[in-house]
Structure 1
Amino acid sequence: MKDNEITSFDKELNKFLQSKCLIPGGLGLWEIYFRKICTAWGEISGEIRPQHIIFSADNGCNMEGYVGYNYEVTQKQSRNMLLGRSSATQFCNFNNIPYEVVDVGIASDDGIGVNRKVAKGTKNILNHPAMTEDEFNSAFQAGYERVEHYVKQGINLFSFGEMGLGNTTTSACVLSALTGADPSETVGPGSWPNKPDLMKRKIDFVRAVLDKHKANIVSESEPDRVRKIVAHVGGFDIAAILGAMLACVDFEKPFVIDGFITAVSAACAVHMNDRVKDYALPSHNSREKGTELVLVEVGITQDMVPIQAQMSMGEGTGAILMVQMLKTTQHMFVNVGTFADLMKL
């Protein structure tokens, strides 16, 4: 919408809310997010039609044993999610939120879920760029096209999750490269035990990766710099979520960020298109160390994050809980009675 249309819509939204039998501002963040969702849509509606998308991919640093656990866990857990047996998919099933698993780079011969496999995992970023430019474009486009597919079906709110051993490491690399933050500020335990010796090993790994690629991730164009960063030190999941989030902006559909990995994707998206901030909704404050830093990049401060639960499951667990709360509050704002109705009683 143009600026004058936004102003006109804001007036309409204010009048709508002022008519309701509610204490002004009494519902805090939920009113802020109701306004944000309606403004993104350009209409006042209480019907949220959600879709949760989980992007799965393996990372070369994990497959070569530099970080994390057996990389085959990505394959097994992705199959587990298809069967509805993971925490995220249980949340989806209980709350009637449709979901899908998109394979953008699982190290398996067959495609798992929606097959958009770019390669059987990225290369080890300690020694090589994670992916080629063509591979980045393929992963990015896979994410973009999944959103486009669901927009055509009437979906109006997206949430994103991910699955891939080693992706907190790649996300820390991307965040440090994007912002210049020292790895000690961006590296958290991920699925590792939170022990000083293991953390030091992970921080040293990220520092070595950044040093290896620093000459190749510079550009005068910020969108081009982001592409280079993700292609050199990121993962297929990050590239796909980045594409999906930018598609949400193009199709004017709000989306919910999950934890650290999806927040890093959102920060990359903001650096490519500042309008992403108008569509991005936080869900929870992940216990990963770089979470607060990365959310600030998206224009989100800690007091704007509704769920403070020290979660770090991934898959979109926090995002799904947020979608259910948004569905509840969106329905309420549209259907709650007015002061005029109240005075007739």
Structure 2
Amino acid sequence: MNSLNNLNIQPIENGELRKLLQHNIDQKTKPVGSLGFLEELALQIGLIQETTKPELKSPVMLTVASDHGITEEGVSPVPTRITWQQVSNFINGGGGIGLFCKQYGFDLYVVDAGVDHDFEAHPRLIDKKVRKATRNFLKEPAMTIDECDEAIRNGRDIMALFAEKGSNVVGFGEMGIGNSSPATALLSVFTGLPVEECTGPGCGLDQKGVQHKASVLRQAFEKHGVSDKPEQNLATYGGLEIATMAGAMLEAAQRRMLIVVDGFITTSAFLAAYEICPAVRDYAVFSHCSKEYGHVKMLDHMNGRAVLNLDLRLGEGTGSALAYPIIQGSVAMLNDMTSFGEAKVYNVVDETGNIVSK
């Protein structure tokens, strides 16, 4: 795919900087390891930014929206017009994502990747519409390979623009009625898990509805099969918002930005990016573990650990925003927490009997 020709994501290094960061963390006035996952986050962010004094600059939230032809098969109980109505709500500061971005300091933009609606121009709306909704992938691939490539390129272009403006943190979220079906399909395709083990209620299906959704997805797999090329699977079963997010995530990693991933659908985009280039994993923080059934399976596949577990299943990027203060706390701990030397606390030993401060 042309959109991936110049992709070059470097894994975060494991040499002297890692040792120095770990030493600095261990020298803080606390028992070694006592701040748990917070210490791992601080180490990761320092390695991403290649410094012992990382900074979080100009965090941006991208909520990417699209409609889905698979809704023709009754896989969602919610009418598709909700997609464009919620986009209008978000760009005017409404919804959960509008509230939490304001609360936690994110600059919110909504990307129209394929909403079945014509919007008026708005400073918070980024028009990257490839087409009005994907096709019904029970009958034909959701996107052509060229459309998928365009969506990936759009995501990369958007991310490049924000990076060049100085942002080094990006949160991702989504909006799109029916998009738990492509996310479920991608989970099954990329992990090899049976589709029945991946399918959940999405926007509120009952058990009969969940069984119907799984049946629709199974029929689609029987029709199209599974490719050994992740980009082809993304085109066949994905969504325009999912492909756009995947492209933006890849570009963010290439530019050594911190990627904050939301819930089930957003993580399916990250899963696609991971299948395209596994090194992207080093740059991600998974904000929470969704209540949607398949999310934990995605995280397990990528050896991902969630910051929060609050039974969230709203999407939009809300989990990314809610986890951000904890990410900020990890950086503050690394940069500002007193060390044993600064506090003049000496001859401290760890649990193994080794002196950590002299």
Taking structure 1 as the reference length, what is the TM-score of the superposition? 0.92
Amino acid at match of 1:231: A
Correspondence 1:199 to 2:210: yes
Counterpart residue number, 1:51: 60
**Structure-2 separation of matches of 1:298 and 1:66:** 27
Q: CA RMSD in A?
A: 2.0
CA deviation map 1:1-57 (0-9, x unaligned) = 989964111122123223322321111001001101110111123521221111100
2:35 counterpart of 1:34: no
Higher helix content, 1 or 2: 1
Name segments (4+ residues, structure 1) moved above 3 Å.
1-6, 63-68
Specify every segment of 5 or more residues in structure 2 that has no aligned partner in the other structure, as ranges. 1-8, 347-358
Match of 1:211 among 215, 222, 234: 222
Deviations 1:133-169 (A, max 9, x none): 1110111111111211111111111110000000001
| Alignment partner, residue 337 of structure 1 | 338
The aligned runs of 1:230-309 (5 Å cut-off) are: 230-300=234-304, 304-309=305-310
Give the letter for the 1:253 counterpart.
M
SS at 2:288 equivalent: coil
Letter in 2 for 1:258: D
Q: What is the aligned length?
A: 334
- Does residue 331 of structure 2 align to residue 318 of structure 1? no
Counterpart contact for 1:103–1:111, Cα < 8 Å: no
Instruction: Give the letter aligned to residue 254 of structure 1.
Output: L
Q: Give me the whole-angstrom Cα distance separating, in 1, the residues matched to 2:341 and 2:214.
A: 60
Aligned to 1:222: none
Cα drift, residue 332 of structure 1:
2.9
**Bigger shift: 284-293 or 6-15?**
6-15
Asked if the contact 1:174–1:230 (Cα under 8 Å) also holds between the matched residues in 2, the reply is: yes
Whether 1:177 and 2:177 are equivalent positions in the alignment is no
Q: Which residue of structure 2 aligns with residue 75 of structure 1? A: 84
Paired-residue identity, %: 28
Is the 2:73–2:216 contact (alpha carbons within 8 Å) kept by the matching residues of 1? no
SS in 2 for 1:283: strand
Which stretch has the larger CA shift, 313-322 or 245-254?
A: 245-254
Alpha-carbon spacing, 1:83–1:255, altered in 2? closer, same or farther (3 Å): same
Matches within 5 A, 1:105-254: 105-110=114-119, 113-193=125-205, 195-214=206-225, 217-219=226-228, 225-254=229-258
Q: 1:96 aligns with which of 101, 105, 124?
A: 105
Give the distance between the partners of 2:294 and 2:120, measured in 1 at CA: 32
Deviation, structure 1 residue 318: 0.8
Shift in CA distance, 3/256, structure 1 to aligned 2, threshold 3 Å: closer
- Alpha-carbon distance, 1:64 to partner: 6.5
1:19 aligns with 2:23: no
For residue 353 of structure 2, what is the aligned residue in structure 1?
none
